[in-house]
Amino acid sequence: MVPLMRHLAVTVSRSRGLVTVTLDGELDRTNATDVRAAVRAAGRLATHTVVLDAQGVTFVDAVGRRALDLVRDASGPQVILLASNAVRSFDRNVAHTATAA
């Protein structure tokens, strides 16, 4: 069986001083480093806030979710996460598994 390639489009835009990193597609271990690099680059452009728009993320694994946490915890500009249903569902499943253990 050949593994499916997971695609994620990452765009960085700047408008009126606001820097936004937009994610569209599947966020997993194959592209998590790209997300971290994009947010670091956006942080160099921003004065105080970067919007990480992950509303277009359709799938996230543990490595991808950790990447979102790491960029929000890093020093530098504040990162505001706009999460998709896939990200929120991942968080609920992890919370449910932790309480069931």
Share of the chain above pLDDT 70, in %: 88
Phi, psi (degrees; rounded to nearest 5) at 58: -100, -15
Helices 62-73 and 85-100: crossing angle, nearest 10°? 100
Residue pLDDT, tens place only, 34-54: 999 999 899 888 878 899 999
Higher pLDDT, 35 or 95: 35
Quote the pLDDT of residue 32: 94
46 near 15, Cβ under 8 Å?
no
Average pLDDT over residues 14-43: 92
In degrees and rounded to multiples of 5, residue 45 shows phi and psi of -90, -25
Kindly report, residue by residue over 73-89, the tens digit of the pLDDT: 776 788 999 999 999 99
Percent over 90 (pLDDT), the chain: 57
What pLDDT shows up at residue 59?
A: 94
